[in-house]
Structure 1
Amino acid sequence: MPAATPPVCDFDWPAPDFSLPGTDGKTHSLADVKGENGTLVLFICNHCPFVIAILDKLVRDGRDLQALGVGVAAICSNDATSHPADSFPNMIKLAEAQALPFPYLHDEDQSVARAYGAVCTPDFFGFNADLGLQYRGRLDSAGMSRDPDAPRELFAAMQRVAESGRGPAEQVASMGCSIKWR
């Protein structure tokens, strides 16, 4: 399967609002997940080998960013008809099995992925406290290798955003499986 790569960061692009059902049984909006010092919206799914390879790191970084006042939410927008592993019931199973420390939201009609311009899983959108885009890079350089010693690029960028409101000028795009559109 060919990998997809999102575009570079469009600094200060405003975060689109959303209201989506979560695996926790609640509906979450952007205002609900917004953090005092920034917000990270990540597009993931259950079946993607790129996501599976970094899931433990996503949980770690999500917890660590929340401790810095950065709100975090994951969204699955894949077509569950063509990819049943990404169905809402399977999302619930994954969220429980991984003890996700952030909401895992279902974008069944794919409107949120389209509004964000999401390209792949994983695709990261890091916003400052004013909800202006500051990071559209990768998690780290390890990719699918699971290297536990790879520098934490996403965490460092969002830590910088939390402290200064600005992301790094140099960012390396994420790479992953393309969003499975209807």
Structure 2
Amino acid sequence: MAAIPPVCDFGWRAPAFSLPATDGKTYTFDDVAGEKGTLVMFICNHCPYVLAVIDRIIRDARELQGLGIGVAAICANDAEAYPDDSFDNMVKMAAQWALPFPYLHDADQSVAKAYDAVCTPDFFGFDAEGGLQYRGRLDASRKVAGPADLKRDLFEAMREVAQTGKGPREQIPSMGCSIKWKDS
């Protein structure tokens, strides 16, 4: 069953993190932050919702980076229960798709919990000061990519953040596979 995150809590502060990436480096929020804002995405390697739009995620990330938006993706799924989401497989996915942003591993799931991430994909768009301005969908695609001419909700929202520091008041939540939490 698909999971749906809550609506945007405007101004909520981005939690700090320090996570290893598929490129062998460790990144903090400040390392990935952009001059005009920051997009933090929770994705994973096996989710059909992510795989249906990974090319669009990459396209939008590249274009947003050109607008001064920093971008990073985080995989927080339980890799023991879901081996497709292991760090080694994250490295393979990053190479296969030539991800233009750091792909970070949240092995203990503390960052996903701090962000209250719900699903993959789950998008958090922050302004230049680290205040949340967007918690919506990429576009209207679901498990299958929609038509190429779909409204680019995420891109348009983050372009607005880059230009004005504010996200749109009306946002449609993302939908995807639930985060695969470890048993407590």
**TM-score, with length taken from structure 2:** 0.97
For residues 62-73 of structure 1, what are the structure 2 equivalents within 5 Å?
62-73=61-72
Distance 1:144 1:164 in 2: 32
- 1:179 and 2:168 correspond: no
Aligned to 1:108: 107
SS in 2 for 1:144: coil
Consecutive unaligned residues in structure 1, runs of 5 or more:
none
- 1:150 and 2:125 correspond: no
- 1:20 and 2:58 correspond: no
**TM-score, with length taken from structure 1:** 0.99
Q: CA deviation at 1:148?
A: 1.3
Aligned length: 181
For residues 111-130 of structure 1, what are the structure 2 equivalents within 5 Å?
111-130=110-129
Q: What amino acid is the match of 1:29?
A: T
Consecutive unaligned residues in structure 2, runs of 5 or more:
none
Aligned to 1:98: 97
Distance 2:4 2:143 in 1: 15
Aligned to 1:42: 41
Q: Give deviations 1:108-127, integer Å, cap 9, x for gaps.
A: 00000000000000000000
Aligned to 1:84: 83
- 1:169 and 2:160 correspond: no
Q: Give deviations 1:123-176, integer Å, cap 9, x for gaps.
A: 000000010000000000122331211111000000000000000000000000
Distance 1:50 1:144 in 2: 4
| Deviant stretches of 4+, over 6 Å | none
Q: Give deviations 1:55-104, integer Å, cap 9, x for gaps.
A: 00010001000000000000000000000000000000000000000000
Distance 1:144 1:35 in 2: 30
Q: What amino acid is the match of 1:121?
A: T
CA contact (8 A) 2:52 2:143 kept: yes
Distance 1:142 1:59 in 2: 15
Percent same amino acid at aligned positions?
66
Q: What amino acid is the match of 1:179?
A: I
SS in 2 for 1:20: strand
